[in-house]
Amino acid sequence: MDRIRVKASATSANLGAGFDVLGLALDEPYDVIEVEPADRLAIKVIGVGSESIPLDPERNTAGLVAKEMGRDVLITIYSGIRPASGLGSSAAPAAGVAFAINELFSLGYTREELVPIAARGEVAAAGVAHADNVGPCLLGGLTIVCGGQAESLEMPEVGVVAIMPDVKVSTRVAREALPACIPLREMVQNVGKACMLVAGAAKKDPYLIGRSLADSFNEKYRSPLIKGYEGVKAGAMREGAYGVAISGSGPTMIALCPRDRAKAIEKAMRDEFLSYGISCESFVTRVGRGVKII
């Protein structure tokens, strides 16, 4: 094989209480990434937000991954995920390139083993090697990452509505909004919610998953960065969403819902943002299955 082309999709990290641990793969939007052997490591970016994506391999998540894997390659990223929106835009190229290099050079890593390698690419974007976006991007479904290990659970069939208000919140800034310590009571509530969410996926119970999205950490400290958050969430719940969460570090909000309610929920959430004078992009999708060769 002299060149490989993969589809690496958007992801939604945290899912409320699962801060830096849980992540959900989405089917759309996605990046298409091509990788081919070259004399030196180089990166080209075309598409959504390309002007804000660094070409220097040291500052690009995909470049750091290729360096980590010790391969000189030309990486072409056809970007389809808006940067700094909370949908894992920096993770998709990292996961995509880890997967592509593994296939191209027949390195023999499992998808699970690629998770910590791809996570180190995130240092270029977030300053830390968090795996809660690269995990679901590689494995699909609902992913749990912990101490370099990654596990994935199949989700029940749900619709996913994502609303991206026209506001930029970088992961770095959103991480600074979080306290270093939280009260014991909040910690206990969050552990409970995260465990209930995983139980919901294991039991294929979308109502339990939805109820478990409300947390007292990510939402409490980061929702003030998203003007209109409470109204938008209420609009989605009124139209039948199972639950709502900030996607990753925001400002995108996602609602999980019955698939036949998704369009009405999308409209309600958009209308709420507009009532605060905030324009937004939005889309309806489903749970993704992980990076694949196309």
Q: Are 201 and 209 in contact (CB under 8 A)?
A: yes
Provide the residue type at 288 as one letter: G
- Is 88 an interacting residue with respect to ligand ATP (CB under 6 A)? yes
Q: Tell me whether residue 87 is annotated as binding.
A: yes
Subset of residues 167 to 196 that bind ligand HSE, contact rule: CB under 6 A:
171, 174-175
- Residue 14 interaction partner, one of ligand HSE, ligand ATP, none, beta carbon < 5-8 Å per kind: ligand HSE
Q: Are 85 and 1 in contact (CB under 8 A)?
A: no
CA distance 253 to 124: 24
| One residue of 24, 62, 95, 201 binding ligand ATP per CB under 6 A | 62
Closest CA to 114 of 47, 165, 69, 59: 69
CB closest to ligand HSE, residue no: 248
In the complex with ligand HSE, the residue whose CB is nearer, 19 or 273, is 19
In the complex with ligand ATP, the residue whose CB is nearer, 62 or 268, is 62
| One residue of 50, 52, 189, 282 binding ligand ATP per CB under 6 A | 52
- The residues facing 26 across adjacent strands are 287
Q: Are 247 and 225 in contact (CB under 8 A)?
A: no
Q: Tell me whether residue 17 is annotated as binding.
A: no
Which residues participate in catalysis according to the annotation? 122, 171
Q: Tell me whether residue 201 is annotated as binding.
A: no
- Residue 83 interaction partner, one of ligand ATP, ligand HSE, none, beta carbon < 5-8 Å per kind: ligand ATP
| One residue of 37, 54, 156, 240 binding ligand ATP per CB under 6 A | 54
Q: Are strands 42-47 and 73-79 parallel, antiparallel or unpaired?
A: parallel
Question: What interhelical angle do 262-275 and 229-238 show, nearest 10?
Answer: 150
- Is 13 an interacting residue with respect to ligand HSE (CB under 6 A)? yes
Subset of residues 240 to 259 that bind ligand ATP, contact rule: CB under 6 A:
248-249
- Is 210 an interacting residue with respect to ligand ATP (CB under 6 A)? no
Subset of residues 107 to 146 that bind ligand HSE, contact rule: CB under 6 A:
130, 132-133
CA distance 20 to 145: 8
- Is 24 an interacting residue with respect to ligand HSE (CB under 6 A)? no
Q: Is 110 exposed, middle or buried (0-12, 13-18, 19+ CB in 10 A)?
A: exposed
